[in-house]
Copies of this chain bind each other. A is one copy, B any other.
Amino acid sequence: MTIQMYDLCGAEPDRRFSPFCWRVKFALAHKGLDFEALPWKFTEKDRIAQHGAKTVPVIVDGETEISDSWAIAEYLEETYGDRPALFPHGKGEVRFIKSWTESVVHMGLGPMMMYDIYRHVAPEDEAYFRESREARVGMKLEELHEGRDGRLKGFRVSLNPLRLTLDAQPWISGDAPAHADHIVMSAFMWARGVSDYRLLEEGDPIIDWRNRMLDLYDGLGRNAPGYD
Contact = CB atoms under 8 A, between A and B. Distances in A.
Interface string A161-188: 1111100110111110010100000000
A94 B174 CA distance: 9
Nearest to A94: B93
A19 B162 CA distance: 21
A162 B88 contact: no
Interface string A71-105: 00000000000000000111111111111101110
Contacts of A89: 89-90, 92-93
Contact of A97 (B90, B96, B102, B104): B96
How many chain copies does the complex carry? 2
Contact of A99 (B161, B173, B175): B161
Contacts of A165: 95-96, 99
Contact of A92 (B100, B102, B161, B173): B173
A160 interface: yes
Contacts of A96: 93, 96-97, 100, 161-162, 165, 172, 180
Given A93-B97, A96-B162, A99-B162, 6 more contacts: A88-B90, A92-B169, A93-B94, A99-B165, A99-B168, A103-B161
